């Protein structure tokens, strides 16, 4: 196991990034959290960081699209966890240019700064969306890549940029490829918070898109541990590694399970605005996580249907807290 002195976490203000920042601080790391600059001086979810980590991390407000700011943020660090990205698939239909700028060019800025500064380790964040609809299951890291949305295409480009810096310049990069992460703080654009927030707001009939596709849901605590294993394991350099639960479930079955755990009878109506174009919908995702176990000694604590239920219970409890729920607009569709 390799430990580093000072870490930069891009996208630290987001869903996974804020949980990761907290976990790294608790692990004893000196963390610099790169957050998206805004005039409200908001640090995103880090404004709501757990009490035991508040004031124990440094914040750098900037934009990954700016190479100068990225390099300034990275100075004095010896490892980088790059999570900063645009991730909403529907918004990528609306504004694909921003996904190229943020996800591809932003990643290039991180890689170039890391190369210039002699950074000892870079963990780049991929996504299971790069696989598109499964051609075989479970999906291992050799599965073909398919750009079925501008978002997934931009992440394929970012991943290939990261791999190229490893192959061309020997930059010590590892690529983590999480499947569908869920948990407290997730955006309401994602399906599990969409279901929970509508039920918690008292709705009897919830609005959903397609309910037949299947997903491999990964509880955020497991995803965070995957990042830490990627960071600390020398075996991750030059590798692409899936982080998934190896459990497949449909959106419809997920909705029924959430209703069962919340003591509600779930009915849904199809909201056309939430339906992806036919050839863009990823119909099936199911992770083969053997490589993560073999190279990183990582395996999910929230595995199988039992683990999924436990993760959902923690997620429901968080969203059901009125102070958390009031931060969401359950009555509108968030792209």
Looking at the structure, tell me whether residues 228 and 254 fall in a common domain: no
Looking at the structure, tell me whether residues 142 and 207 fall in a common domain: no
Looking at the structure, tell me whether residues 310 and 163 fall in a common domain: no
Domains in the chain: how many in total?
A: 2
Looking at the structure, tell me whether residues 60 and 200 fall in a common domain: no
Q: Which of 135-139, 140-144, 180-184, 274-278 has the lowest mean pLDDT?
A: 274-278
Mode of pairing for the β-strands spanning 217-219 and 6-10: unpaired
Q: Are 176 and 243 in contact (CB under 8 A)?
A: yes
Looking at the structure, tell me whether residues 238 and 127 fall in a common domain: yes
Q: How far is CA 43 from CA 40, 123, 257, in A?
A: 9, 22, 33
Looking at the structure, tell me whether residues 127 and 151 fall in a common domain: yes
Q: How far is CA 232 from CA 39, 112, 141, 225, 280, in A?
A: 35, 22, 20, 11, 36
Q: Which of 41-50, 60-69, 264-273, 318-327 has the lowest mean pLDDT?
A: 264-273
- At residue 272, the pLDDT reads 65
- At residue 203, the pLDDT reads 84
Looking at the structure, tell me whether residues 139 and 274 fall in a common domain: no
pLDDT digits (tens, 9 = 90+) for 53-96: 999 999 999 999 999 999 999 999 999 999 999 999 989 999 99
Distance between CA atoms of residues 267 and 264, nearest Å = 9
Domain assignment of residue 270, yes or no: yes
| Domain of 209, in residue numbers | 191-215+247-285+302-325
Domain assignment of residue 1, yes or no: no
Looking at the structure, tell me whether residues 170 and 306 fall in a common domain: no
Domain assignment of residue 37, yes or no: yes
Looking at the structure, tell me whether residues 29 and 129 fall in a common domain: yes
Domain assignment of residue 296, yes or no: no
pLDDT digits (tens, 9 = 90+) for 281-305: 999 999 999 999 999 999 999 999 9
Residue with token string 């996580």: 289
Residue 314: band (very low, low, confident or very high) from pLDDT cuts 50, 70, 90: very high
- At residue 164, the pLDDT reads 98
Looking at the structure, tell me whether residues 159 and 106 fall in a common domain: yes
Q: What is the CATH number of the domain that holds 56?
A: 3.40.50.720
Looking at the structure, tell me whether residues 239 and 253 fall in a common domain: no
Domain assignment of residue 207, yes or no: yes
């Amino acid at each position: 196991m390799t430990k580093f002195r000072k870490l930069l976490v891009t996208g630290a203000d987001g869903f996974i990034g804020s949980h990761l920042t907290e976990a790294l601080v608790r692990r004893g790391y000196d963390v610099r959290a790169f957050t998206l600059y805004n005039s409200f001086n908001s640090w995103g979810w880090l404004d709501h960081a757990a009490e035991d980590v508040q004031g124990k991390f440094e914040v750098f407000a900037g934009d990954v699209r700016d190479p100068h700011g990225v390099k300034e943020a990275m100075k004095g660090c010896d490892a980088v966890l790059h999570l900063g990205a645009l991730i909403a698939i529907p918004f990528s239909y609306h504004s694909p240019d921003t996904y190229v700028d943020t996800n591809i060019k932003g990643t290039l800025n991180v890689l170039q700064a890391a190369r210039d500064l002699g950074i000892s380790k870079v963990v780049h964040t991929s996504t299971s969306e790069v696989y598109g609809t499964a051609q075989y299951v479970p999906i291992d890291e050799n599965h073909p890549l398919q750009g079925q949305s501008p978002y997934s295409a931009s992440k394929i480009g970012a991943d290939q940029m990261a791999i190229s810096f490893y192959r061309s310049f020997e930059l010590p990069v590892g690529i983590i490829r999480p499947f569908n992460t869920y948990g407290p703080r997730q955006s309401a654009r994602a399906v599990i918070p969409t279901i929970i927030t509508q039920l918690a707001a008292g709705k009897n009939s919830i609005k959903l898109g397609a309910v037949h596709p299947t997903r491999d849901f990964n509880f955020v605590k497991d995803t965070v541990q995957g990042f830490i294993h990627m960071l600390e394991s020398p075996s991750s350099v030059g590798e692409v590694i899936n982080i998934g639960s190896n459990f497949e479930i449909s959106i419809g079955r997920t909705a029924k399970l959430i209703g069962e755990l919340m003591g509600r009878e779930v009915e849904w109506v199809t909201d056309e605005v939430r339906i992806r174009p036919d050839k863009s919908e990823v119909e099936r995702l199911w992770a083969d996580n053997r490589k993560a176990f073999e190279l990183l000694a990582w395996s999910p604590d929230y595995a199988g249907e039992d683990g999924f239920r436990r993760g959902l219970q923690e997620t429901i409890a968080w969203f059901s807290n009125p102070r958390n729920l009031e931060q969401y607009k359950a009555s509108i569709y968030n792209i």
